[in-house]
Amino acid sequence: MKQFILSFIALVFFVFESIFAQLFAGDTFGDDKILVPHFMMIFIFFLTMYGSRKMGMLYGAILGLTYDVVYTEILGIYMFLLPFLAYLISKCMKILQNNILIACLTAFVFTAVLELVIFQMNTILSFADMPFGEFAKRRLLPTLLLNLAFIIVSCYPLKRIFEKLDLQGDAE
């Protein structure tokens, strides 16, 4: 039952991210700003922090592959990057205090890392020819602000859900 609930929540985040991107695409917030929701990734980050590393990495790989197939031109980048970031988050949370503020800050930092690595991979593979300064102004900052707002809104409900599901005992 826990796996069904967790899979359903992951699906909701995956679909919600797509719907949000479709609704707010274009010049809704300004013609030169690019907003990229990373709601599914934030779900994986909180799953890793409050659930288990094993579940975070597993869902990261599965949802990353799904994301690659549906949305990206580079197959495998999210499939490998999300489990890797989940692993790094689990290691960071062993060092840092595990309170809600630190968890939000960690999710924010790893969202920035995700966005920067994706940009760098797109630049290396010549899918993007935007200079870093323009990328930071047009995409990175608006994306980080959007995802920070989502982190603030969703951190406590996600924490409660993962604690209630008690994934620590099942996965490790």
Residues 23-66 pLDDT 10s: 877 665 556 788 889 999 999 999 999 888 999 999 999 999 99
- SS3 per-residue string spanning the chain: CHHHHHHHHHHHHHHHHHHHHHHCCCCCCCCCCCCCCCHHHHHHHHHHHHCCHHHHHHHHHHHHHHHHHHHCCCCCHHHHHHHHHHHHHHHHHHHCCCCHHHHHHHHHHHHHHHHHHHHHHHHHCCCCCCCHHHHHHHHHHHHHHHHHHHHHHHHHHHHHHHHHHCHHHHHC
Residue 40 lies in a domain: yes
Residue 43 lies in a domain: yes
Q: What is the pLDDT of residues 78-108, one digit of tens each?
A: 999 999 999 999 999 889 888 899 999 999 9
Residue 24 lies in a domain: no
Per the structure, the count of domains in the chain is 1
Which range marks the domain in which residue 87 is found? 2-19+34-166
pTM of the model: 0.88
Residue 95 lies in a domain: yes
Residue 11 lies in a domain: yes
